[in-house]
């Protein structure tokens, strides 16, 4: 019953968007950046960004976001790894948007933008144009073209490519360290980040490169100013959300230590009985070879620029060899 109402609501809003595409916003119009806190699911661990357009004169109060996708798409995860996933601009009423996030106990923080009426109109026109059926979908890229980068580009274009921010964040952070921070206790995701990402993921990021993460965009906008020195954010509730630190048992380093101790124990056992356990090498070698094959395939065919061969792929055989030395040099 609820899903039927939601679809009907979305359809009505879509009709409004199409009909108001060329309409003028009133002096009462407000446009805000919405930042949603991370959720428990893997694809929600990095938070979310959306844009709210509220014009009481036009009886318009909607949220537009670039994070809509369909899990039922054939080979969704495989296409995601290859960089061939299409996302689209979606809309909902503000109450509906708030209700959906409250159901998952996720908070949404609003930053009203200090824009002139002309700038608001320009941003509204860009959003309306992007929502047209022929423009609605875009080729998603996790770090360069996502739910946070799209709104930032539109806001920047509406202002005239002249946003300055004093936000520094954490100096020296890389894509790898940022993403590991957000994945938290998802140890398999952390392992994937370490094994699939190549050297490009270890280069220090610029301020703007960090804006693919919603929280970073929120902080950046909070300290942003217009060319005349006016703060870009007119009203900021001042709240921030904190990602809990990754538990020690879910870290990449702990996994390596545990692996080393397991192989070391087997080596000590082999040394006592003076016999090599070849089955262990086979059990380790098969998934490792498959991993190398997957990384090689993705390096060649994936459009994700961060995927590639990195030195971390050598840690597994090196750790294995070190643990086996006690038997080799018995």
Condensed to tens digits (0 to 9), the pLDDT of residues 44-95 reads: 778 899 999 999 998 899 999 998 887 677 777 777 777 778 889 999 998 8
Do 134 and 266 lie in one domain? The reply is: no
> Which of helix, strand or coil describes residue 311?
helix
Domain C-terminal end among 160, 189, 214:
160
pLDDT at 30: 93
Domain range enclosing 99:
2-160
Domain C-terminal end among 160, 186, 219:
160
CA dihedral 316, 318, 319, 321 (to 10 degrees): 120
Closest CA to 158 of 206, 126, 112: 126
In a domain? residue 166? no
pLDDT, mean of residues 246-263:
78
* The two three-digit tokens of residue 46, written as one number: 């990095």
Q: How far apart are CA 324 and CA 121, in angstroms?
A: 67
Q: How far apart are CA 95 and CA 4, in angstroms?
A: 16
Do 154 and 258 lie in one domain? The reply is: no
pLDDT at 149: 94
pLDDT at 218: 92
In a domain? residue 323? yes
Do 17 and 145 lie in one domain? The reply is: yes
In a domain? residue 180? no
pLDDT, mean of residues 263-268:
87
In a domain? residue 269? yes
Do 156 and 266 lie in one domain? The reply is: no
Q: How confident is the model at residue 240 (pLDDT cuts 50, 70, 90)?
A: very low
In a domain? residue 313? yes
Instruction: Convert the pLDDT of each residue in 129-178 to its tens digit.
Output: 999 999 999 988 888 899 999 999 999 999 987 788 888 776 668 888 88
In a domain? residue 45? yes
- Using the predicted structure, report yes or no on whether residue 324 has a pLDDT greater than 70: yes
Do 294 and 150 lie in one domain? The reply is: no
| Mean per-residue pLDDT of the chain | 80
Phi, psi of 61 (to 5 degrees): -150, 95
* The two three-digit tokens of residue 146, written as one number: 């996502």
Domain C-terminal end among 160, 191, 209:
160
In a domain? residue 12? yes
pTM for this prediction: 0.72
In a domain? residue 117? yes
Instruction: Convert the pLDDT of each residue in 166-225 to its tens digit.
Output: 887 766 688 888 887 777 666 777 777 777 888 888 888 888 888 999 988 999 999 999
Q: H helices of the chain, where? A: 2-20, 76-82, 94-103, 117-131, 149-159, 175-183, 187-196, 214-222, 252-273, 278-301, 315-328
Q: Which of 5-14, 39-48, 301-310 has the lowest mean pLDDT?
A: 5-14
Q: How many domains does the chain have?
A: 2
Do 31 and 150 lie in one domain? The reply is: yes
pLDDT, mean of residues 93-122:
86
């Amino acid at each position: 019953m609820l899903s039927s109402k939601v679809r009907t609501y979305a359809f009505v809003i879509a009709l409004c968007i199409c009909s108001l595409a060329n309409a003028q916003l009133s002096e009462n119009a407000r446009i805000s950046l919405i930042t949603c806190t991370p959720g428990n699911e893997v694809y929600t661990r990095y938070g979310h960004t959306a844009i709210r357009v509220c014009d009481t004169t036009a009886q318009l109060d909607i949220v537009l976001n670039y994070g809509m996708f369909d899990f039922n798409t054939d080979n969704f995860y495989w296409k995601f790894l290859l960089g061939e996933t299409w996302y689209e601009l979606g809309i909902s009423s503000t109450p509906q948007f708030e209700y959906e996030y409250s159901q998952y106990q996720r908070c949404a923080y609003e930053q009203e933008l200090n824009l002139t009426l002309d700038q608001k109109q320009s941003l509204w026109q860009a959003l309306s144009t992007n929502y047209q059926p022929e423009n609605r979908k875009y080729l998603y890229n996790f770090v360069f073209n996502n739910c946070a980068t799209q709104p930032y580009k539109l806001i920047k274009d509406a202002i005239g490519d002249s946003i300055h921010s004093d936000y520094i964040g954490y100096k020296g952070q890389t894509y790898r360290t940022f993403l590991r921070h957000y994945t938290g206790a998802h140890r398999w995701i952390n392992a994937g980040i370490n094994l699939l990402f190549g050297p490009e993921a270890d280069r220090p990021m610029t301020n703007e490169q960090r804006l693919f993460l919603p929280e970073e965009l929120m902080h950046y906008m909070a300290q942003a100013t217009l060319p005349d020195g006016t703060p870009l954010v007119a009203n900021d509730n001042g709240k921030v959300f904190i990602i809990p630190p990754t538990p020690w048992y879910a870290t990449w380093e702990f996994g390596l230590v545990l692996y080393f101790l397991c192989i070391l124990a087997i080596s000590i056992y082999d040394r006592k009985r003076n016999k090599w356990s070849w089955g262990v090498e086979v059990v380790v070698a098969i998934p490792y070879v498959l991993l190398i094959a997957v990384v090689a395939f993705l390096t060649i065919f994936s459009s994700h620029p961060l995927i590639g061969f990195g030195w971390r792929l050598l840690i597994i055989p090196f750790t294995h060899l070190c643990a086996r030395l006690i038997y080799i040099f018995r």
